[in-house]
A and B are shown apart, each in its own frame.
Chain A
Amino acid sequence: MSLYEPIQDLRARYPEGSRSAVLPALRLAQEQYGFLSPAAIREVADAMDLTPNYCHAVASFYDMFHLAPIGRHLVEVCTNISCALVGAQRVVDAFEDELGIAPGATTDDGNVTFRAVECLGGCGYAPVVVVDHRYRQDVGVEDVPAIVRELCAGP
């Protein structure tokens, strides 16, 4: 599916001549292709009437855009202060053990990318883990094996 038309719909939400649809357009491309490859960025740039370099510069600024392939599933553990005070590192260690990879890595089968992230705004329900963009709150070490099993069994 070409992203050209859906990106024109996004552009129509903002004042004519503005670049405001770049972020939504990049998100759309990432959802479509899994990550922002040079080809995906070129497609966004063409639809936005911008240069690929400009779109790459924008994408590289934001933490949620992936310029390299990631796993089919994404597990993100907050390790900022509030989560850290109540055991986030033990949760990180548990994922490391269950997945056999360090934070920032992807499992050999390309199934799961696991990383530590900064504050997710779940501090009152810490530790917070985000699995495929959905928050899991009050996560304990004991919850980790089930989360990993879920990701390995599912699609």
Chain B
Amino acid sequence: MPARSLLLAGAGERDLTQLADYRAIGGYEAAVRAAGMTSDELIAELQAANLRGRGGAGFPIGRKASLIDRASPRPKYLVVNADESEPGAFKDREVMARVPHRLIEGCLIAARAIESVDVFIYIRGEYLAEYEILAAAVDEARDAGLFGDVRVVVHRGAGAYICGEETALLDSLEGRRGQPRPRPPFPPIQGLYSAPTQINNVCTIATLPTIISMGAAEFAKIGVESAPGTAIFSISGNVVRPGNYELELGTPMRELIYDWAGGIADGRELKAVIPGGSSVPALTPAELDTPLDYDSLAAVGTFFGAASLIVVDDRCCMVQLAIRSTKFYLHESCGKCTPCREGTRWMVQLLERIEDGSASYADIELLANVGDRILGRSLCALGDFAVYPVRSYLQHWRPEFEAHLEQGGCPFGGESTLEGIVAPSDAHAHQPVAEVPG
């Protein structure tokens, strides 16, 4: 399939961080058109476009907007989730840095749809350069009188993966520790400051001007029927040309990895692809022809997630990959729910025991068992995100796990690409709360 630019359209030719350049290619005309539509008309248009959320869960934005309690006497809030922190994902960052006005225009359209005049964009604290560009674009658009009575606040996070989870994000935005809330009530009923709140990912919102410009019917013809449109795919790891590629949904994974990203680097063999960011089950080379869309990836047991592919070559030990992945989720667990907080520690201890060859076969079973006891048992999916990838490594590369036990250590003999990799959680001063019985 050819490249198809919707989100990043025009950014190759012009400096679209500048309002004049964005307006020269028709920028903010969709917002003007939306302002002439009723809330019901706009929501109907979004539902007809069938745009599914690009943040990870894939929930259709039109349906989300229809759940907002617009009759509520409370203010309605639009919150943009720009807390991009999923390992492997760097697409939202490109949108904010290169087409900030398209995101802002999308905010105006979404706000109109849910009858909101209060927009918050929650951007991860580390994205300082992107914050500066986005905040300048917001100021420029506001000064040009494009906002009407809408207020847009760009709010910086302060370093916490969990704040990308929507209810943790709301708590953080309210000035609290960013910890998930029990649901129900869901944010469309009771979200920010207990008021009806719509939360969407950067790429989802930045697609709205295109939908309004071309019309939902035309938009729905792009990509696949079950998930129209394009996605900015972030691809990283052992490929020749890592980076962001905007492609139609349904593009075969093989095409992205080999045609766009140049194939596997250093003449190595492909071993694994983690297709949606580090939290999703990995695929083997046998699944290379899977189309990159929600339903096709679900059919092979994984997730579209954040459209972020991590490509792993044959030099990497899968046990080390599992350790590094799990240490991330251990470090980022907010500590609120026991299965996630303690379970991730147990997983790391068991995996390290397997890696150094001191584990027994029963420990491999225990690892799987601990995973089963984390899944679905917490307020949010962070604990699940620790388990999904590790469970898939065990499923596809179990002989490699067992080889560690048989050889009394790592079969890669110190030559794995992840050998010795440090993790921030290594610096945790405290001992694990619970030691796994050995």
| Of the residues B153, B237, B316, contact of A14 by C-beta under 8 Å | B153
- Closest residue of A by beta carbon distance from B419: A89
Q: Does B176 contact A (CB under 8 A)?
A: yes
- A85 to B418, Cβ gap below 8 A? yes
Q: Does A53 contact B (CB under 8 A)?
A: no
Q: Mark A39-80, 1 if CB is under 8 A from B, else 0.
A: 000000000000000000110011111000000000000011
- A118 to B157, Cβ gap below 8 A? no
- B236 to A126, Cβ gap below 8 A? yes
A:118-155 near B, CB below 8 Å: 118-126, 130, 133-135
CB distance from B239 to the nearest CB of A (A): 9
**A79 in contact with B421 given A122-B90, A124-B234 (CB within 8 Å):** yes
Which of B12-20, B28-36, B139-147, B323-331 touches A?
A: B323-331
Bound CA–CA A80/B323 (angstroms) = 11
- Closest residue of A by beta carbon distance from B329: A118
**A64 in contact with B243 given A81-B325, A121-B93 (CB within 8 Å):** no
Q: Does B300 contact A (CB under 8 A)?
A: no
| Of the residues B157, B159, B178, B417, contact of A85 by C-beta under 8 Å | B417
Residues of B within 8 A of A58 (CB): 175-177
B:69-97 near A, CB below 8 Å: 75, 84-90, 92-93
Q: Does A82 contact B (CB under 8 A)?
A: yes
- A21 to B175, Cβ gap below 8 A? yes
Residues of A within 8 A of B155 (CB): 20, 23-24
Residues of B within 8 A of A119 (CB): 85-88, 161, 278, 328
**Number of A-B pairs whose CB atoms are under 8 Å?**
167
Bound CA–CA A79/B418 (angstroms) = 10
Residues of B within 8 A of A115 (CB): 424, 427
Bound CA–CA A21/B423 (angstroms) = 31
CB distance from A10 to the nearest CB of B (A): 10
- Closest residue of A by beta carbon distance from B245: A124
Bound CA–CA A120/B321 (angstroms) = 18
- Closest residue of A by beta carbon distance from B423: A79
Residues of A within 8 A of B235 (CB): 124
Q: Does B156 contact A (CB under 8 A)?
A: yes
Q: Mark B289-315, 1 if CB is under 8 A from A, else 0.
A: 000000000000000000010101100
- B424 to A62, Cβ gap below 8 A? no
- B427 to A103, Cβ gap below 8 A? yes
Q: Does A112 contact B (CB under 8 A)?
A: no
Q: Does B332 contact A (CB under 8 A)?
A: yes
Which of B125-133, B203-211, B219-227 touches A?
A: B125-133
**A20 in contact with B242 given A27-B158, A134-B129 (CB within 8 Å):** no
Residues of A within 8 A of B176 (CB): 19, 22, 58
Query: Could you write out 26 A-B pairs with CB less than 8 Å apart?
Result: A18-B174, A18-B193, A19-B176, A22-B175, A22-B176, A23-B156, A26-B158, A27-B156, A57-B177, A61-B334, A79-B424, A80-B328, A81-B274, A82-B87, A82-B236, A85-B310, A89-B420, A89-B422, A103-B427, A118-B423, A118-B424, A119-B86, A119-B278, A123-B242, A133-B126, A134-B128
The 8 closest A-B pairs by CB, nearest first: A19-B175, A63-B159, A123-B236, A62-B158, A64-B159, A22-B175, A82-B236, A119-B87
Residues of A within 8 A of B (CB): 13-15, 18-24, 26-27, 57-58, 61-65, 79-82, 84-86, 88-89, 92, 103-104, 115-126, 130, 133-135
Knowing that A20-B174, A125-B90, A130-B126 touch, tell me 8 more A-B residue pairs with CB under 8 angstroms.
A21-B175, A27-B156, A82-B88, A85-B418, A115-B424, A121-B85, A121-B89, A124-B235
